[in-house]
Amino acid sequence: MKKLVIFGVGLIGGSVALALKQARFTSHIVGVGRTKSSLDEALTLGVIDSAETDIAKALDGADLILIAAPVAQTTAILQSIKPHLNKQTVITDAGSTKGDVLAAAHTVLGAQFNRFVGGHPIAGAEKSGVSAAKVDLFIGKNVVLTPTTETNMDAIASVTQLWQACGAIVSEMPAENHDGIFAAVSHLPHLLAFALVDDIAARPNAAQLFSFAASGFRDFTRIAGSHPEMWRDISLANRAALLNELSAYQLELNQLKQLIENEDGAGLQALFERASVARNNWANSKTR
């Protein structure tokens, strides 16, 4: 690949650039972003080869475009690039929701929708910005692609090769399946962590509570340090699936509350044992 254009050179976009540079996957990486300062930082760190604010110039001769910006920006970015696409350019994204992204791509790109491949790297960190980018962020991590029946096979192959060059394990599934799965195992946990920290911070004795918080609180709330704008966008973009997960979790909390109110020690222990076994089995499977 001769030229890759990345919209959003932050943690994900920057890590992709670093990994592809190391793999010698592409000869030139162009960064496009909202602020000159972030692009200047990416240039200084050697993450990208050039920075552009002129979309036409950025996309001239581009083989592949990666949209690694918050999902709410996807439609505007697609609208900005459409007039400058050639028939061979492949477009993909790295957003955490896929149904909304595919719908936007279908509406905006029209006949060129067959060159769009939805993607989601299952990797990240609490820190954001290009300074947090890591060359090995995707090694051994899952990347889910969500092609449709319209998607060009060569476009799928190009995006698959990009992520494999980053060291990732690539799989495919329908967008609806993706959004349901990640509402449960990613989006809901982030909301719970944000909500707990917000609750504690709003109390009159917040300073005292935080002063006694230790490893359990730190581990549970680690992801509440994540990018607020990104998680706002994800929450709204995956609204239906996330509302279902919140309702299911509220039922679980109600069950837990009832067990405590009834002083049902056996019921509490049974719930805790089920959860402990399931969690340990999952953790052990990830270390194999």
- Total-model pTM: 0.87
Q: What is the band of 51 on the pLDDT scale with cuts at 50, 70, 90? A: very high
Tell me how crowded residue 101 is: count the other CB atoms within 10 A of its CB: 27
126 pLDDT exceeds 70?
no
124 pLDDT exceeds 90?
no
Q: What are phi and psi of 49, to 5 degrees?
A: -90, -30
Q: What is the pLDDT of residues 180-199, one digit of tens each?
A: 999 999 999 999 999 999 99
Closest CA to 9 of 26, 29, 33, 25: 33
Q: What is the pLDDT of residues 129-164, one digit of tens each?
A: 888 889 999 999 999 999 999 999 999 999 999 999
Q: What is the band of 38 on the pLDDT scale with cuts at 50, 70, 90? A: confident
Instruction: Decide which of 129 and 80 is more confident.
Output: 80
